[in-house]
A and B are shown apart, each in its own frame.
Chain A
Amino acid sequence: MTAARLLGTVALTFLGLLLVTFLIGRVVPIDPVLAAVGDRAPAAVYERVRIELGLDLPLYHQFWIYCTRVLGGDFGNSVMTANTVLDDIKRVFPATLELASVATIIGVALGVPMGVIAAVNRDRWQDQVIRVAGLVGYSVPVFWLGLVGLLLFYARLGWVAGPGRLDVAFDDLVAPVTGVILIDSAMAGEWEVFASAFSHVILPAAILGYFSLAYISRMTRSFMLEQLRQEYITTARVKGLSERRVVWRHALGNVMVPLITVIALSYANLLEGSVLTETVFAWPGLGQYITSSLFSADMNAVLGGTIVVGSVFIGINMLSDVLYRLVDPRAR
C-alpha cells in the first residue's frame, strides 16, 4: 500500500469515527448547555452559552467547524474541566497507558505460558484448570473483582496500596515528563515514588491483566493445538528434538504471528480505558474521562477522546504489522 493510500484510509477512518461519535453525542437526550452552566443559570446566561457553544447552528455546520478546528490543531475546551481537551488528554491518557501496559505485561507473561501448557496437556487436569480460570476471567464482573481484590489485598492483607495513583505524601514530588509515573519517577531517580506508584498500579493492573490473560491464554491454546497437529512438529520429534524445544521453540514460534494480533487487540482494548476499574480504583484515566464527558454531552472532550482511541487502534495495528515482519520471514 502506498503512503498516500494509507494516509487516505487513515483520514477517512477518522472522519467516519468523528461523524458517528458526533451524531451519537447530539442524539443523546442531554442538554449540553446544562453541563456548562448548571441548572440555576438565568435564561440570558443559558442563551449566551448556547450560542458560544455553537449549538444554535445546524448540525452539519457544527461538525464542519469542529473538523476545521481539529485540522488546525485546536481540539477545543472541555466544558466539564475548563481545560483544553489536549491538556486533559495529556493528563488522563498516561494514567491509562500506565495501567494498560502493566496489565498487558501481566496478561502476556502469564497468559501465553498458560495457553501453551493447556494445549500440550489437552483434556488433562492442567487444561481443565486453565480453561476454567479463563472462563472465570470472562464472566466475573470486573467491578466486583476489583472491590474484592481491594478488600483482600489492600484492606485485609495490606500487600498493596489503595486506590489512586500515588500516596498523598508523594503527590507532585516528581515533575511529569511522560505522565507515566513509573517512568517519570525512575528517570528522576525517585525510587520511593516509584515504589508507591508500583504499589498502587499493581492491583488494578492485575485485575485487568486477569481479563486479558483469560483471552490470551484461550487464543494461545487454540493456536497451539492447531500447530501441534502439523507435520513439521512430528518431523521435529522424529529428529529427536527435546519436547521442550519442539513446543516452546518450533510450535510457539509459529504461533507468534496470530498471537501478536491477539495481544495487540487486547492491549488496544485496555488503552481505551476501563471505566469500571478506573472508577473502583479512583484511577483518573481515559475511560472515566470519556464516559463522564459523554454523560455531560461535553462533545469536545468526547470527540478528543475518540481521536485518541482511534489513533491507538490504528497505531497498534501498524505496530503489529511491523512485528509480523520481525517474527515471520515470509512477511518481509
Chain B
Amino acid sequence: MKRTALLLAAALAVASPFAAADAATPKDTIVMAKQIDDIISLDPAESFEFSGSEAVGNVYEKLIAYDLKNVSRLYGQLADTWYVGGDGKTYTFKLRQGIKFHSGNEMTAEDAAYSLQRAVIMNKTPAFILTQFGLSKDNARDKIRAVDKYTLMIETGQAVAPTFFYYCMTAVVASIVDSKVVQQHDQNGDMGNAWLKTNSAGSGPFKLVSWKANDAYVLERNDNYWGGSKAIARRVVVRHIPEPATQRLLLEKGDVDFARNLTKDQLDAIADSPHIATQEALKGSILYLGLNQKNPNLSKPEVREALKWLVDYEGIEKNILRGTYKLHEAFLPQGFFGALADKPYKFDLDKAKALLAKAGLANGFSVTMDTRNLSPYTDVAQAIQASWAKAGVKLELIPADGRQTLTKYRARQHDIYIGNWGPDYQDPHTNAETYAMNEDNTDNARSKTLAWRNAWDIPAMTAKTKAAVLETDAKKREQTYLELQREHQQSSPFIIMYQQVEVSAARKGVTGFIMGPSFDNNLYHAIKK
C-alpha cells in the first residue's frame, strides 16, 4: 500500500512541473463551469432548454424585450416603436435603423420577417409560442411580412390581449437572425437549421465560436455591437462540468470564474470563503406535486386538501432547500403579471386528519410518488414521506432517472409526481394554460397540459382560462388570473410549494453577471474581472 502510494505520488510528482504555475484564468476570458448537457441546438428557432436559451440570449436579439428589474415594462430592442391596429389583430413594428449583424449586414424588416416565418415554418418545439396566434406553415409568409425596409407587420388569427402577444415576442424563438447568412447555409431546404445548430448569425453582444456537445461552448465579443450593452470580456468559455463537487474545486482553485450548479451543501461550505461571492435570482420554475385523479383516493377533494395541509413547507425550505427555492403556493411565479402572493397552506396535522376522516380514510392509505433521483427532489420527497406518515399516509417513493419519470408522468401512469415547471414565456397564460386548462381529458388528447397529465377534468376552469387570454382590459385580466389561482389553490390536484432561486458562485472581483427572471436573460456582456 505504502509502496503503491509512493509510486503513485512519484508518477504525479513527475507531472507536477507541467501543472499551471498560475491557476487564474486569462484576464480577458471568462470561464464558467456549468452543466450544459441539456443543449440540443443553438438555433434560436429550435433551442428550448435552459442552457441553450442562455447561450442564445447572449448572441441574438429580439424586436422587443422586458425590463429585467420590472418585467411589466417592455422596451424596444431591435424595434423602435410598435403598436396594434384597431382590429386587435395587426401588429406593426418600426425597426431601428443602422443595426448591423455579426456579419456586417444591416438588419432590416426582411430579416425580421424571415426569422419569424422560419420559426413558424420549421415548426420545432418552441414554435407553438408563435403558432398559437394562428400562424402556420401555410400562411406564415402572408401573415408575417416586411411592409418596407424598416417596417414589419404581423397579422394574428384572432384578437388577444396585446401584452400576451408582446410577451411572446420576447421569447427566444422570436430572435432575429441574419437572413442572408442563414440562407447561404440552407441544406436541402432546412432553412439553415443544421448549420445554425452550431453556428450563429445574430446581432447580440457575442457571437458563437463553437459548441461541442457535452464539452463546452465558446462565445466571442462582437466588436461591432450597435447597442449600449457592448461586451467587456473578449471571450466567454462555458465548460460542461457535470459534477458539482468538481465545479467547486475548480472555483476554489481559480481555474474557473463561475460555478453555476453548486448544491446547497456546497454553497454552505463556501459561504465564508474570502475568495468567492454568490449572487441569486428568482426564476420562474415552480416545484410542485401532481396528484393523478385516476387514483380513486387522490380524486377525493378532501384527500387533495388534506395532503396540502400535510406538507411542512417552512421546514423543508429552511432545512433542505436553504436559499435555492422560496416558498410559493400559486401557479403564477412571483414577478409575473397577475401572480398571487397568498400562502394559505402550512403544516397542520389535525386539520389534515379531520379531512382524511371525512373522506373515509381515517386510517390513512398507501400511495406512490415517482421521484427523479436527483437533489433536491429526493430530499424533499423524503421529508414529505415523513410528514404524511404522521397522518397514516404511507408514501412509497419510486426513484428513477428524470426522463423515465417524465415518460411515466406523460402517460398518466403515476400516482403522485414531484417535478418542476418553468414558464415558456413571460405572460401569465403560459402557466395558466398548463395548470388550469384541460380541453380533452381522454387518454389520446392532443394537448398534454399538466392538468391533463393529472387527469383533472375542468371544463369551467378551462373556459375561464381561455377567456383570460382574450381579455384586452389589463385590470380585468389581472383580476381573472388572481381568481383562477385562488380557485386553483383550493381545488386543484397540484400541491404548489416553491419557486426556484438560481444561485451562481463567482470568484471575488469577477462582477457584472446579470441574472434575469428567465434563463435567456442570464447575460454575460457586463462581466469583468
A→B interface (CB under 8 Å): 28-31, 34-45, 48, 78-83, 88, 91, 106, 110, 114, 126, 129-130, 132-133, 136-137, 147, 150-151, 153-155, 157-164, 167-169, 171-172, 195-196, 198-199, 202-203, 206, 209-210, 213, 279-282, 284, 288-289, 292, 295-297
Q: List 12 A-B contacts (CB under 8 A).
A: A30-B403, A30-B407, A38-B40, A39-B406, A41-B128, A48-B123, A137-B4, A161-B255, A169-B25, A171-B218, A199-B20, A288-B214
In the assembled complex, the CB of A40 is this many whole angstroms from the nearest CB of chain B, namely 6
In the assembled complex, the CB of B228 is this many whole angstroms from the nearest CB of chain A, namely 28
Q: Is the CB of A147 within 8 A of B123?
A: no
Partner of B239, one of A81, A281, A282, A292: A282
Chain A residue numbers with a CB within 8 Å of B5 are 133
Question: Which residues 232-247 of B have a CB within 8 angstroms of A?
Answer: 237, 239-243, 245-246
Partner of A162, one of B7, B8, B197, B255: B255
Distance A153 CA – B40 CA, assembled complex (angstroms): 35
B→A interface (CB under 8 Å): 1-5, 7-8, 11-20, 23, 25-26, 29, 31, 33, 37, 40-41, 48-49, 123-128, 131, 194, 197-198, 210, 212-216, 218, 237, 239-243, 245-246, 249-250, 252-253, 255, 401, 403-404, 406-408, 410, 424, 446-448
A-B contact count (CB 8 A): 199
Q: Is the CB of B448 within 8 A of A160?
A: no
Given A45-B125, A161-B255, 6 more A-B residue pairs with CB atoms under 8 Å apart are A30-B403, A80-B37, A81-B213, A91-B215, A110-B4, A129-B4
Distance A289 CA – B410 CA, assembled complex (angstroms): 26
Distance A31 CA – B424 CA, assembled complex (angstroms): 22
Question: Across the two chains, which residue of chain B brings its CB closest to A37?
Answer: B125
Chain A residue numbers with a CB within 8 Å of B18 are 160-161, 195-196, 198-199, 202
Which of B2, B3, B213, B447 lies at the interface centre, i.e. has the most chain A CB atoms within 10 A of its CB? B213
In the assembled complex, the CB of A191 is this many whole angstroms from the nearest CB of chain B, namely 10
Which of A31, A35, A172 lies at the interface centre, i.e. has the most chain B CB atoms within 10 A of its CB? A31
Question: Across the two chains, which residue of chain B brings its CB closest to A158?
Answer: B19
Q: Is the CB of A161 within 8 A of B19?
A: yes
Q: Is the CB of A284 within 8 A of B12?
A: no
Q: Is the CB of B1 within 8 A of A296?
A: no
Question: Across the two chains, which residue of chain B brings its CB closest to A147?
Answer: B245
* Nearest 10 Cβ contacts at the A-B interface: A81-B213, A199-B18, A159-B16, A202-B15, A43-B446, A133-B4, A195-B18, A31-B407, A41-B125, A284-B215
Chain B residue numbers with a CB within 8 Å of A284 are 212, 214-215, 240
Chain B residue numbers with a CB within 8 Å of A44 are 123, 446
Distance A158 CA – B18 CA, assembled complex (angstroms): 10
Q: A162-B255, A206-B12 are in contact. Are A213 and B249 (CB under 8 A)?
A: no
Distance A196 CA – B255 CA, assembled complex (angstroms): 13
Q: Is the CB of B446 within 8 A of A82?
A: no
Chain A residue numbers with a CB within 8 Å of B17 are 195
Distance A132 CA – B80 CA, assembled complex (angstroms): 74
In the assembled complex, the CB of A53 is this many whole angstroms from the nearest CB of chain B, namely 14
Partner of A213, one of B4, B12, B127, B241: B4
Q: Is the CB of A154 within 8 A of B249?
A: yes
Chain B residue numbers with a CB within 8 Å of A167 are 20, 255
In the assembled complex, the CB of A41 is this many whole angstroms from the nearest CB of chain B, namely 4
Distance A163 CA – B20 CA, assembled complex (angstroms): 13
